[in-house]
Chain A
Amino acid sequence: MKCHEFQERVDSYLRGTIEEPRREQFEEHFFQCRKCFLGLKINETLHNQGVRIPLEEKPRSFVLKVLRPMLAMAALFMVILSSALMLQHGRQADRLRELSRFELPLYHQGELRGAPESAAPLELGFNRAMHALQNQDFRGALEVLERPEFTAAANPKYDFFRAICLLGQNEAGKAGEILDAIILAMEPAYFDEALYYKGFVLLRQGRTEAAKKQFQKVAGMLSPMAGKATEMAQKIDEL
Chain B
Amino acid sequence: MDDERFFEKLRAHDPQAQKELIRTFNPRIFVYFRNRIKGEDHYEDLVQEVYSAFFNGLEQGKVAAAAWIAPFMFGIAKRVLYNYFYRQKKNKDIQKNVCVVCELSSDFSESERLENLRLGEVLQRLIGDLPRIDRTILNAYFLQERKIGEIAEMTGRSRHYISVRKDRAIRKIRSEIIRKNLY
CB contacts (< 8 Å) of B171 on chain A: these are 39
Q: Is B58 an interface residue (CB 8 A)?
A: no
Residue in B closest to A46 when the chains form the complex, CB atoms: B142
Q: Is B165 an interface residue (CB 8 A)?
A: no
Q: Are B119 and A41 in contact (CB under 8 A)?
A: yes
Q: Are A39 and B142 in contact (CB under 8 A)?
A: no
Which of B2-10, B14-22, B70-78, B96-104 forms part of the interface with chain A? B70-78
Q: Are A49 and B143 in contact (CB under 8 A)?
A: yes
Q: Are A51 and B74 in contact (CB under 8 A)?
A: no
What distance in Å separates the Cβ of B137 from its nearest Cβ neighbour in chain A?
Answer: 9
CB contacts (< 8 Å) of B138 on chain A: these are 46, 53
Q: Is A13 an interface residue (CB 8 A)?
A: yes
* Mask of B134-158 contacts with A, CB within 8 angstroms, 1/0: 0110110011000000000000000
What distance in Å separates the Cβ of A53 from its nearest Cβ neighbour in chain B?
Answer: 4
CB contacts (< 8 Å) of A28 on chain B: these are 71, 74
CB contacts (< 8 Å) of B119 on chain A: these are 41-42, 45
Q: Which of B120, B123, B132 contacts A57 (CB 8 A)?
A: B132
Docked complex Cα distance between A44 and B71 (Å): 22
Chain B CB within 10 Å — which of A14, A37, A39, A46 has the most?
A: A46
CB contacts (< 8 Å) of B129 on chain A: these are 58
With contact pairs A46-B138, A53-B138, A53-B142 given, residues A35 and B74 touching in the complex (Cβ less than 8 Å):
no
Docked complex Cα distance between A16 and B78 (Å): 17
With contact pairs A14-B35, A28-B71, A53-B142 given, residues A38 and B178 touching in the complex (Cβ less than 8 Å):
yes
Q: Are B31 and A55 in contact (CB under 8 A)?
A: no
CB contacts (< 8 Å) of A169 on chain B: these are none
What distance in Å separates the Cβ of B104 from its nearest Cβ neighbour in chain A?
Answer: 20
Q: Are A30 and B174 in contact (CB under 8 A)?
A: no
What distance in Å separates the Cβ of B134 from its nearest Cβ neighbour in chain A?
Answer: 9
Q: Is B28 an interface residue (CB 8 A)?
A: yes
With contact pairs A7-B167, A40-B31 given, residues A31 and B25 touching in the complex (Cβ less than 8 Å):
yes
* Mask of A16-40 contacts with B, CB within 8 angstroms, 1/0: 1000000010011011101101111
CB contacts (< 8 Å) of B32 on chain A: these are 27, 30-31
Total A-B pairs, Cβ < 8 A? 85
Q: Are A44 and B139 in contact (CB under 8 A)?
A: no
Q: Are B35 and A16 in contact (CB under 8 A)?
A: yes
Residue in B closest to A14 when the chains form the complex, CB atoms: B35
Q: Are B120 and A54 in contact (CB under 8 A)?
A: no
Q: Are B174 and A42 in contact (CB under 8 A)?
A: yes
With contact pairs A7-B167, A38-B183, A52-B124 given, residues A30 and B28 touching in the complex (Cβ less than 8 Å):
yes
With contact pairs A38-B174, A39-B171, A41-B31 given, residues A51 and B120 touching in the complex (Cβ less than 8 Å):
yes
Q: Is A47 an interface residue (CB 8 A)?
A: yes
Q: Is A50 an interface residue (CB 8 A)?
A: yes
Q: Are B70 and A31 in contact (CB under 8 A)?
A: yes
Q: Are A27 and B74 in contact (CB under 8 A)?
A: yes
Q: Is A151 an interface residue (CB 8 A)?
A: no
Residues of A within 8 A of B (CB): 7, 13-14, 16, 24, 27-28, 30-32, 34-35, 37-47, 49-55, 57-58
A-B contact list, 30 entries, CB within 8 Å: A16-B35, A27-B32, A30-B28, A30-B31, A32-B74, A35-B174, A37-B28, A37-B31, A38-B174, A39-B170, A39-B174, A40-B31, A41-B31, A42-B119, A42-B170, A43-B170, A46-B123, A49-B142, A51-B120, A51-B127, A53-B127, A53-B135, A53-B138, A53-B142, A54-B127, A54-B128, A55-B132, A55-B136, A55-B139, A58-B128
Closest 6 CB pairs of A and B: A31-B74, A46-B142, A53-B139, A32-B70, A50-B120, A31-B70
